[in-house]
Structure 1
């Protein structure tokens, strides 16, 4: 047919690999019969006939078919300036009127383009991905994706029967972003991006910014509206803005949602977010936990990765429901006074074909060099933190969870693996930085920008680093040269303490320093004390199975461990099942052994954890100065022969001091004299050997009066009985 289109460009369009479909389709100025005119072209293989409809007057102009595959064209005397629609009679005989996708202006403003180019568009989730959009009264979805090295990109889905030939995306110059408005695309429909690599190969990829995905093992994304949920946690959010992470109590319950509790008749027993919300609120209230921490909630293809190998960074896993369901989960916990942290994993991503690896056929999110781009331990890819677009993707993802889902904190996994270029590598297997060192300078900059962005945009939100080395300043301000985290997991305390507790009591006198060493560095960082899932997997056994001795001693040792942990400076974190003294090592199929609560010994451990949580919350001396030497004072740390520890926890002058006395042997210590900082009555407020916890009830109830005898370098003292493998805690009564 007579047209200005070339056969080669038409063929590229029909093949679906035209990099600039807007150069053919949509409105184009032309010279027609010596006059200026506009050619409007549409590719619609399902149309029998088509018209251009003036949006203002409603007048119609027929379009002629210029190619038998479904390319239509109309010559208009005047440029319609996007004020038109197209109408077609499809092959089923139905009349459909819609917007011409190639006449729609870009969703990206000049400012968006500037921020994206700078790598500082921290709310890029408002532009990229699948955004609901209404153009000229027509409802649809604006799709966009970053794929700078692709030859062509199509968006395919249920809205076009997975045929992307007439939904070829338009490249935005200089940004490497491809974009297309698809009229009629609806919430709930599935989609993917079909990308042609530089080599001409077609690959299907998930949307990196998708808000929802199919239930694994299916992998398509789902168009979602995440702006329709009505939140009811205004009071919590206002209070959170004033939250003081340095001085507030924080008792965290680490949870794997897929295995915490199961439901009969459900896929793999997975409970819905709404069911889990009700159950977790009740349980956290009973156990006096202030926060929960969820193992990674973002969509992941392999359940056995526990979420640590994510593909859908902006999508809560569909295993438990929709985005709205997860919003309800967060909302319900907030309304009941419980904060929510989530594990966030910028350290690596999996090699699944539909994920980020070689996203547009090139090493886009990762380094091309495997010495920089692959983790030898985990078989996963490492993000290229030095690339602006990648850093922007990760930081905007972090802010997304805080903005759209009201998350209260982010615990960053595997920070050490990001900080060191030679992490788990031999000589010759890593690339030094520009100064010849092993430090990952790009990752350092990333952490500082990430923490500054979180704390600037969301006051009261906390960040915590799982960092297992002596890297300085992890929880120090970026202004002071630190990485900017609020907390650092104290992996040294965890390893030393568990190693000490595994010793038979008779040998503990030779390992006293393993308990006391933590106080040498306790205030160099803002530490959180973790007994996390990592300590009860991969052959380590459960916590109680790691305790030595007969059955009675195992339970007593576990009670002693928890008492020492809850009174040691630092915020607290315990993985689910630890509060039950479960025997089995955790796995994601079975979860906690709730049936053990039929036994009084296990109920005793559960009650002990609940009471320790309450003790920390109600006594500022046990939480106000967790990160300062002002909150701790040794009474006696040198009695290695008896394996005892005695120390004071302190708050401000208005807070009653707490005296902690622990005996790490099964021998009761009667008439044990302890020097105290103040005279008066010291009430026993906790005893891990109480019958209520399954102990032998050796203790000092209701308390002890000072004797006027100096001891431990103090003017006064009390005589106490230290319970076997137990802790007695006293509070000075004013």
Structure 2
């Protein structure tokens, strides 16, 4: 039988240089035909192995039945096995150290995996799905995310909705029409999925990945996941995937100690092991590991049409001393704490994604003050498109958790964010991390009785949508789920029988509608030109007033006024730059949302009363614990 390897010498050259970005086309298991015989070609990198074979349900897991051949000094083992069909379970049997190390490993490049708690890889063929999102993909390359409205709905697929009457998962295809209808109705522009890559432990929420090229089989096949993304795209909804290059689990079938050596991870635990998560750290200085990770990133954007990747735990990659006490970390070659190899990898990751997939976005969850995270690499930045604004999130939630009587002493916690709001391209996140581990749900972070809790959350969301930066809400936050998020159960959708929860959901829906329809709220999100304080000093009354401005300043102007106390303010004068009638666009105290119904009768005419440096002002009714939006009529 004549067999010609699909891996060329040039592939090996690029792989060894860390410059092969499509390894999924070469490594792993692929259907092929040799001399008229159908089967699968297998290839795996295990340079320190003495013996590698493919074992599975097709050969009764016999480690001697289907050995692979070593490809010169490349470290690659490969071979063709006749009769293998899609859907068969397999692993690699790797023997090294003279037979003293013997282990069964899942395929690092598998497209499909056995449903957990099983750990086998599954032979699969990714062809056969007919995409119908051509309009979306054709337009994607011309997207300019910085000056577009972006409101992201963060979703954990296993707990957004379970099957009625049971705790069984809804599959990708089953959940698709329900999620599409809900997200479209609510007006979110994107869905961000917590990691869908295969992972062994439900409690990791997907953040401890073993299958970097496989959507989890918990919810169906790879084609089923393609169907979900396709349906979102056909309805004008973008898809962002959480991607985890910072660490990987120690499970025996995974990447750790793959061929009897520390192949994918740093060998020294002082840099190669995360004690917080009991996980390994990728060796970013190893070229073959860089090729593996860069290929994984590009795979999700090219093969599965993902519109962006949000990179988890970037701070843990940047710093060698991350969460490590003195004496238990290794400085870099210059004696510093920066992980130079990880920094180089991150920059290359962003360069590759943006050059190979125009129109995608990369997002950093980076919790420190590392400079220029979302600035181009040619300017010295890390190259991400956006960065989560963790500082804004922490300060704002700290402020909102206080009883309104004390808020005047903490006014700077609201205004401080504008000192750095334009240093990065920010996303404002109220994510899953804020509603777990005893932190309490969003609604339960708010002080006061039930009415005040909901009013506080409405004014918080109003302030969030008016503040510069793109928006992100975790599922359940939009309707005020009382309990913390639990990955093992569905959201408490029954709460929408309560008018307070329905009102909050409607408020978020209307905020999304306002965001998408008013260029002032998104066009200049990353520039001082798009923001102007009216009054940031009114700490005694705990109010804020400011303008958002679009590129066409004569018509794209929006006024937001927030009252963070339960005391109505009237008359409340706000200076404005334009004379005439200002329409009241939204008022979180409307009875529609569960408020008290105080407002401004649809709008107000300016009065020639000087205020805040302007000759004209609005005499408004500022409702309790409310955000009010006004726009001048042309």
Structure 2: how far apart are the matches of 1:143 and 1:655?
A: 61
Tell me the number of residue pairs that the alignment of Structure 1 and Structure 2 aligns: 632
- Taking the aligned partners of 2:279 and 2:64, their CA distance within structure 1 comes to 33
The corresponding residue for 1:227 is 127
- Alpha-carbon separation, structure 1, partners of 2:479 and 2:239: 22
Alignment partner, residue 457 of structure 1: 356
Q: In 2, distance between residues paired with 1:461 and 1:129?
A: 26
> 5 Å matches for 1:165-184?
165-184=64-83
Q: How far does residue 137 in structure 1 lie from its aligned partner after superposition?
A: 2.2
Q: Distance in 2 between matches of 1:547 and 1:225?
A: 50
Give how far 1:265 is off. Answer: 7.1
- Write the deviation string for residues 114-148 of structure 1: whole angstroms up to 9, x where unpaired: 11121111001000000111222222111000111
Alignment pair present for 1:513 and 2:421: no
Give the equivalent residue in structure 1 for 2:34. Answer: 135
Match in the other structure for 1:294: 193
Distance apart, 1:199 and its partner CA: 4.3
Larger of the two Rg values belongs to structure: 1
Matched, 1:687 2:587: yes
Residue in structure 2 matched with residue 242 of structure 1 by the alignment: 142
Q: Give SS of 2:229's match.
A: helix
User: Shift of residue 505 of structure 1?
Assistant: 0.4
Instruction: Give distance in 2, aligned partners of 1:256 and 1:199.
Output: 44
Structure 1 residue 672 corresponds to structure 2 residue 558: no
Q: In 2, distance between residues paired with 1:656 and 1:370?
A: 55
1:636 to 535, 559, 566: 535
Is the counterpart of residue 394 in structure 1 residue 293 in structure 2? yes
Alpha-carbon contact 1:666-1:725 (below 8 Å) kept:
yes
How far apart are the structure 1 equivalents of 2:6 and 2:52? 17
Separation in structure 1 between the aligned mates of residue 250 and residue 290 of structure 2, nearest angstrom? 19
Q: Show CA shifts across 1:605-641 (max 9, x none).
A: 0000000011000001001111111110000000100
With 328-337 and 193-202 compared, the bigger mean Cα shift is at 193-202
SS at match of 2:67: coil
Cα distance in 2 between the residues matched to 1:446 and 1:701:
56
Partners of 2:316 and 2:308 lie apart in 1 by 21
Given that 1:489 and 1:528 are in contact with CA atoms closer than 8 Å, whether structure 2 keeps it comes out as yes
Distance in 2 between residues matched to 1:351 and 1:681, nearest whole Å: 64
Question: For the Cα contact (< 8 Å) 1:300–1:310, is it kept in 2?
Answer: yes
Residue 701 (structure 1) shift: 2.4
For 1:246, what is the secondary structure of its paired residue? Answer: helix
Q: Equivalent residues in 2 for 1:12-23 (5 A)? A: none
For 1:91-490, what aligned pairs fall within 5 Å after superposition? 100=1, 103-200=2-99, 201-264=101-164, 268-490=167-389
Cα deviation for residue 165 of structure 1 reads 1.6
CA contact (8 A) 2:55 2:65 kept: no
SS of the counterpart of 1:583? Answer: coil
Distance 1:390 1:169 in 2: 22
Specify every segment of 5 or more residues in structure 2 that has no aligned partner in the other structure, as ranges.
none
- Taking the aligned partners of 1:256 and 1:396, their CA distance within structure 2 comes to 24
Paired with 1:143 and 1:627, the residues of 2 have a C-alpha distance of 48
Q: CA deviation at 1:205?
A: 0.3
Corresponding residue for residue 86 of structure 1: none
Task: Confirm or deny that 1:561 pairs with 2:495.
Answer: no
Aligned to 1:719: 619
| Partner Cα separation in structure 2 for residue 610 and residue 459 of structure 1 | 30
Offset from partner CA, 1:453-494 (integer Å, 9 cap, x none): 000010110000000000001000011010100000000000
Query: What displacement does 1:589 show?
Result: 1.2
Q: By how many angstroms is 1:643 displaced?
A: 0.5
**Separation of aligned partners in 1, 2:34 and 2:87:** 20
SS of 1:564 mapped into structure 2? helix
Name the SS of the counterpart of 2:506 in structure 1: helix
CA contact (8 A) 2:458 2:504 kept: yes
8 Å Cα contact 1:671-1:719 kept in structure 2: yes
SS of residue paired to 1:160: coil
Cα distance, 1:655 vs structure 2: 4.2
Q: What does the per-residue CA deviation read over 1:201-229, in whole Å, with 9 as the maximum and x for residues that have no partner? A: 22100000000001100111111110221
Give the Cα–Cα distance (whole angstroms) in 1 for the partners of residues 594 and 124 of structure 2: 51
CA contact (8 A) 1:636 1:712 kept: yes
The answer as to whether partners of 1:656 and 1:733 remain within 8 angstroms in 2 is no
SS in 1 for 2:200: coil
Decide whether the 8 Å contact of 1:342 with 1:410 is kept in 2: yes
Which residue, 572, 575, 594 being the options, matches 2:493?
594
Cα distance in 1, alignment partners of residues 406 and 16 from structure 2: 62
Higher relative contact order (CA 8 A, sep 6+): 2
